[in-house]
Amino acid sequence: MERGRGALGPALELVHTGRAPTRAVLTSELGVTRATAGAVAAELEALGLITVDSRPTASAGSQGRPSHRLFVNENGPVVLAAQIHADGFRVALVGLGGRIVATTSGCGTIPADPAVVLAEAVAAGSDLLRETGRRCLGAGLAVPSAVAEPDGEALNPLHLAWPSGAPVRALFLQALADAGIPGVTDAIGFTGNDVNLMALAEHRHGAGRGARDLLCVASGHRGVGGALVLDGRLHSGSSGLALEVGHLTVNPEGAPCHCGSRGCLDVEADPLAFLVAAGREPGPEVSLLRQAADLIRDEYADPGVRAAADLLVDRLGLGIAGLVNILNPDRIILGGLHRSLLEADPERLRAVVADRSLWGRSGGVPILPCSLDYNSLVGAAELAWQPVLDDPLVVLER
């Protein structure tokens, strides 16, 4: 009927990730004619996904007719994103462009039954949907553990007191169905490890934008997680268990690890390791990450704290160098404790990585702190948006 069907998804992704501010850019990025790009934009606008500002822009610079500007529709549909963490859960409605439209959280002890938490989170999301009146096109969930494919089971969710192997995806889908969230069918509901989702979010909307091979490393509470985005897609391995980087050996004389080895990244470079190295007694009141990050922020001048930070940076650098030798990414982003360590002394970590990775060439890879708030939450939303980005028509015409 109309022009521009095949290119609909790629075009939406370009606007979504902020890489197509105008129809002219869309034309070149998609490699189609202006006519087709115009038709694609018109179709996306008709679908309510993007808006076009055709007012004469006060354009500075180049000559020629100024472009109309393309925006994600700020009042368009949203997806429901939920994140479970050690201290509770957080739920958000996220629009295209990774914009958080509304968010709420629930705190307190996480019950041992994941179904209860997920039902609470979904109920909170349902409330948000009712309050805002937004149309919901999907839902995504972030959990702080590995998620095994193809069934979406949480493996070893250590700091949640959940049973290992809990079928979180099925439970999440059930909770969504029970809540009767309009627009979300059984087929749409995605689940992922929180570091994976941080990587996805940072790649689309944050410090990882434009990277082809993006490596993320983060430590939130206990242990160290990794994630890899290749050509814009999350690489989670054949069964979802890739980038379990916590058991790289970074200190042959180090502390024993439950994996049977010793000196693993997991036990040498997480918040607890940092607090212990700094000679602080970890308190139970706030999260280990918060305690560690506050210590770096407030007492970095203290020699003991500084020494502990340097030690952890050296260990972390060894682990990252190993990953650089294996994955050869073109950008690295750090989250959680590692972000704090990087920001406190960017040069030390870069030097260690460059020194221990095999070729100066790949050792010179940029290492950046993550740049988004709630990046796992936004990443969970990306999972939910993916079907829309793949083909806007089939999802919207339900």
Binding site for its own copies (CB under 8 A): 146, 148, 155, 212-213, 226, 230, 235-245, 247-249, 252-253, 259-261, 263, 322-323, 325-330, 356, 358-359, 361-362, 365
Q: Which two tokens stand for residue 304?
A: 């003991």
Question: Residue 64 binds which entry of its own copies, DNA, none, with Cβ cut-offs from 5 to 8 Å by kind?
Answer: DNA
> DSSP assignment, residue 4?
-
Question: Residue 303 binds which entry of DNA, its own copies, none, with Cβ cut-offs from 5 to 8 Å by kind?
Answer: none
Question: Residue 32 binds which entry of its own copies, DNA, none, with Cβ cut-offs from 5 to 8 Å by kind?
Answer: DNA
Nearer to its own copies by C-beta: 51 or 325?
325
Per-residue burial over 191-209, b if 16 or more Cβ lie within 10 Å, else e, is bbbbbbbbbbbbbbbbbbe
Q: How far is the CB of 243 from its own copies (least distance, A)?
A: 6
Nearer to DNA by C-beta: 66 or 88?
66
Binding site for DNA (CB under 7 A): 1-7, 22-24, 27, 31-42, 56-57, 59, 62-68
Nearer to its own copies by C-beta: 38 or 329?
329
Instruction: Provide the H-helix boundaries in 251-391.
Output: 265-268, 271-277, 288-299, 303-327, 337-344, 346-356, 360-363, 375-390
Omega cis (within 30) before 329: no
H or E segment to which residue 199 belongs: helix 194-205
**Cβ distance 82 to 89 under 8 Å?**
yes
What distance in Å separates the CA atoms of residue 379 and residue 192, rounded to the nearest whole number? 9
Question: Residue 29 binds which entry of DNA, its own copies, none, with Cβ cut-offs from 5 to 8 Å by kind?
Answer: none
Q: Which two tokens stand for residue 251?
A: 């200190």
Nearer to DNA by C-beta: 62 or 238?
62
Number of helices (H), then strands (E), in the chain: 15, 14
Nearer to its own copies by C-beta: 133 or 360?
360
Amino acid present at 381: A
Q: How far is the CB of 232 from DNA (least distance, A)?
A: 20
Question: Residue 27 binds which entry of DNA, its own copies, none, with Cβ cut-offs from 5 to 8 Å by kind?
Answer: DNA
Nearer to its own copies by C-beta: 41 or 352?
352
Question: Residue 276 binds which entry of its own copies, DNA, none, with Cβ cut-offs from 5 to 8 Å by kind?
Answer: none
Nearer to DNA by C-beta: 69 or 99?
69
H or E segment to which residue 332 belongs: strand 331-336
Nearer to its own copies by C-beta: 82 or 264?
264
**Cβ distance 274 to 316 under 8 Å?**
no
> Please, which residues bridge with residue 38 across strands?
none
Q: How far is the CB of 386 from DNA (least distance, A)?
A: 20
What distance in Å separates the CA atoms of residue 86 and residue 297, rounded to the nearest whole number? 22
From 374, 371, 372, 352, select the one nearest 363 (Cα to Cα): 352
Phi, psi of 233 (to 5 degrees): -115, 140
Q: Counting every residue, how long is the chain?
A: 398
Nearer to DNA by C-beta: 7 or 91?
7
Question: Residue 5 binds which entry of its own copies, DNA, none, with Cβ cut-offs from 5 to 8 Å by kind?
Answer: DNA
Neighbours of 168 (CB within 10 A): 24
Question: Residue 248 binds which entry of DNA, its own copies, none, with Cβ cut-offs from 5 to 8 Å by kind?
Answer: its own copies
Question: Residue 6 binds which entry of DNA, its own copies, none, with Cβ cut-offs from 5 to 8 Å by kind?
Answer: DNA
Q: How far is the CB of 45 from DNA (least distance, A)?
A: 10
**Location of structure tokens 């997991």:** 266
Q: Which two tokens stand for residue 126?
A: 């349902």
